[in-house]
Amino acid sequence: MPHLFHISFSESLSRHTLLQASWTLPLFLLLMALPVPLIWWAAQSVNPDIPIAAYAAYLMTEHWWVGALAFIGGLAAASGTMIMIALALSGMVLNHIVLVARPPEARSDLYGWLLWLRRGLVVAVIIGGWVFYQWVGRHHGLIGLGLAAFVGMAQCLPGMLALLYWPGANRKGMVIGLIAGVGVWLWGCGCRLCSRSPCRRYP
């Protein structure tokens, strides 16, 4: 996701921190995933008829403090994720789209102009997320959208690994591999770009 990339790589200040992020980020994601089997085993031991997706709702109905913790944790996670995504995407759009399409002219207040331009892009990203929710989020489930986002981001994983561990990699290979991966992904989903039906098959 863009906010993870922004925190792990874009904010790195030296080569040492960049190399450290190449193994600490996968370790962090692994540690986050370790409690999932424990929660599933606990749910099966308490009531095997409860689906794993509804186990959190079951705990919140049985124990009020679980609901309070879930609300606080969800609010903190959603707020932090939204802020980091807005900052990361605004920087990416500014550096790779806006400044490429319209290079800045020589001016005395160039830093201030770039700062206000990025602030405007932050607001535009947040509004764009709200528009996306109104247009797509109301018709598709969060799990399906999240899975599609992760599968789409996985197309960039080979290029990111090659960038870290293969000095001979170049951007032409990255672009060709990315186009081929997205093409295979869309073919595997079996849905047209203009279709409003959610993808039900993932490679």
pTM: 0.59
CB distance 162 to 169 below 8 Å:
yes
CB distance 47 to 58 below 8 Å:
yes
Question: Which region holds residue 88: left if phi is over 0, alpha if psi is between -120 and 50, else beta?
Answer: alpha
Give the domain ranges of the chain: 34-138, 141-203
Per-residue pLDDT in tens (0 to 9) along the chain, 203 residues: 666 666 666 665 667 777 777 788 788 889 988 988 887 787 778 777 777 667 777 777 777 787 788 889 888 888 888 888 888 888 888 888 888 888 877 777 888 888 899 899 999 999 998 898 888 877 777 777 878 778 877 887 777 777 777 777 787 888 888 888 888 877 776 654 444 444 444 44
91: Cβ contacts below 8 Å, ≥ 6 apart: 6, 10, 118
Residue 123 confidence (pLDDT): 93
Residue 121 confidence (pLDDT): 92
Residue 120 confidence (pLDDT): 92
Residue 124 confidence (pLDDT): 93
CB distance 126 to 82 below 8 Å:
yes
Residue 198 confidence (pLDDT): 47
